[in-house]
Amino acid sequence: MGIKAALPKYEIYSYYVMLCLAVFWATSWIFEVSNSNINRKAFKTSVKPSYFGRKMDTSDFEWMMWFSTFRAHILFALSGHVLFAKICSMLAPQYRSLVYMVYGVLAVWTSMGWTYVTLILSHCILLYSISLVKIRWLCFVTGLCTLATFKCEPFLSWEAGFVQGDFELRHVLFYGGCGFTIMRCMSFALENCEKKDGNYNILELLKYNFYLPFFYFGPIMTFDKFYVQVNRSDLTRKDGELWNISLHGLIHLGVVIVVDVLFHFMYILTIPTDMKLLKHLSDWALVGLAYFNLVYDWVKAAVMFGVITTVAKLDHMDPPKPPKCITMLYMFVDDAEYVYDYLGGKHENVLEELVATLCTYGITILWLGPCEVVLFWAFFNCFGLNFELWTTKFFSMEPFVSLEPSSTRLTSVWTFPSWLLSVCFLKVILAISFIFFLKSLLIFILFFSGFPITTILVMFVTYCLVQVIKERERKQALIDDPDPLPPAPPLNAAAAPPASATTTPAAQPAAEPNKEKAE
């Protein structure tokens, strides 16, 4: 849509002030509710004594497993990977991809057993065999059918029997390792279909799949990028690169500490499980709970992603970009642009957009497992993406397209329904059982019990948030792609008479390209 004109500074600063006041006000309500109900009977199972002489919210078992119970095991495995990778990079860098694979296989074998490794190898061999046929649709269908076996009986029970041990993180590691393995094998198979001369070796697939930092929790790096980066011979770093990696690692450590501290004072995960308590909370407390649950789910994903990508950067890899903060999202497209671009093209055709969204979220339903909550989530995300295209086309017509700062304000108004849908149906489906109820309760408050005061206030805060986001995006766009400087005048231009500059028709269009780009 282009870079619109900037709003006045005093207006942007006022939006920042309004947002800070709204967040602090909602935080104070949640803090008060947490303190006044700390001894409730419903809190006893999840709010337990901890540091600072206070009780801590321990509702999220995944956070507790990753950063408390199995923290030492995870750090030990990743530290061993970094150590062996560094030694190999110094002594025999040409074999570092092989060392990554061997260490990954041994780590998976130690944590999940040799039968689980056998199961993973069987999926790799199956999809590698299909990839030799070099038929793209067959590779794609085989991958989806293999993925479906983890969502239906009796295949699920049979494959789950390959895992040894009964530790608490067993199911998370099982589904994470198998799911990401199939997605990586599909990426390999599709890239092998594109290879003109011969086929990739199956050893390249095993190196790709058993890279430990990405094995259990992703992210998915496509095979073509992984193959180039892991076989790169030049392992020199840019100036300040190691310092930036260390800084990112310290930032993620700081985030883990901050979240742990906040769990001692704000029980944002336990409060939504007490339905009796929710009925007596203020509208601000409920809106704050919905917002903080959304942000927390993003923080949890971002921390896990950040730790993994930090290790990958130490291996001279360039991992995918981290997920975008839910606070910085005001359009569905921002969160899905890397998923459905292939089918949607430029996302300008209504029919192509509809097909792209249906196919994308159909695969996502298969990945997450078809159930009522996931179907609701997929339906509203599909509707949100298409709704944004319709509204974008509408506001690209006159008289809206000729309005500069005013069109920016109008955009913030029409994005409220889209933002509301993204709030109500969380992007991350972790611990969604009570979060789904909370977002439904938020809708009830906005349009029924809290109408019209709460509705107007939330819409106004949302408007301020969208304006702040758009201003940040405008500044970043100017940094990434600034307007070029006008060309220097020729040397003989100074000797030319002044009238020639004003009377010659050809001299006038020289500034037009810059003007068009700015518009």
Q: What is the pLDDT of residues 476-501, one digit of tens each?
A: 777 777 655 555 555 554 444 544 44
Domain for residue 495, yes or no? no
For residues 455-478, average pLDDT: 78
Pair 19, 84 in one domain: no
**More confident call, 390 vs 344:** 390
- Domain for residue 61, yes or no? no
Report CA torsion sign: 463, 465, 467, 469.
negative
Q: Tell me the average pLDDT across 340-359.
A: 71
Question: What integer pLDDT is reported at residue 403 of this predicted model?
Answer: 55
Residues 266 and 221 in one domain: no
Sorting pLDDT into bands at 50, 70 and 90, what band is 3?
low
Residue 370 three-state SS? coil
Q: Is the pLDDT of residue 445 over 60?
A: no
In a domain, 2, yes or no: no
CA atoms within 13 A on the CB side of 144: 13
User: Does 389 or 236 have the greater pLDDT score?
Assistant: 236
pLDDT value of position 204: 93
Q: What is the mean pLDDT of residues 110-133?
A: 91
Over range 400-409, report the average pLDDT. 54
- Whether residue 280 sits in one domain with residue 411: yes
Could you tell me if 67 and 77 are in contact, meaning their C-beta atoms sit under 8 angstroms apart?
no
Q: State whether 154 and 29 are in the same domain.
A: no
In a domain, 513, yes or no: no
Does residue 489 fall inside a structural domain?
no
Residue 194 lies in a domain: yes
Which residues fall within 8 angstroms of residue 170, CB to CB, at 6 or more apart?
Answer: 112, 163
pLDDT given at position 492: 55
pLDDT at site 325: 60
Mark whether 28 and 80 lie in a shared domain.
Answer: no
The better pLDDT of the pair 417, 37 is held by 37
Domain count, the chain: 2
- Higher per-residue confidence, 195 vs 155: 195
Do 116 and 156 lie in a common domain?
yes
Please report which confidence band the pLDDT of residue 63 belongs to, taking 50, 70 and 90 as the band edges: confident
Task: Report the pLDDT value the prediction gives residue 304, as an integer from 0 to 100.
Answer: 84
Q: How far, in Å, CA of 178 to CA of 514, rounded?
A: 52
Q: Are 394 and 261 in contact (CB under 8 A)?
A: no
Sign of the alpha-carbon torsion through 371, 376, 378, 379: positive
The answer to whether residue 16 scores a pLDDT higher than 50 is yes
Judge contact between 293 and 438, C-beta under 8 A.
yes
Mean pLDDT comparison of 145-149, 151-155, 345-349, highest-scoring range = 145-149
Answer with the residue of higher pLDDT: 38 or 336.
38
Supply the range of the domain harboring residue 113.
69-235
Contact (CB, 8 A) for 288 and 27: yes
Mark whether 289 and 357 lie in a shared domain. yes
User: Do 85 and 219 fall within a single domain?
Assistant: yes
Are both 219 and 299 inside the same structural domain? no
**Residue 490 domain-assigned?**
no
| pLDDT of 417 over the 70 cut | no
More confident residue, 388 or 58: 58
pLDDT at 154: 79
Identify whether residues 185 and 85 lie together within a single domain: yes
- Residue-averaged pLDDT of the chain: 76
High-pLDDT (> 90) share of the chain, % = 13
Verify that 141 and 85 share a domain, yes or no.
Answer: yes
How high is the pLDDT of residue 517?
43
**Same-domain check for residues 279 and 426:** yes
Give the C-alpha separation, 115 to 160, whole Å. Answer: 10
Inside any domain, residue 345: yes
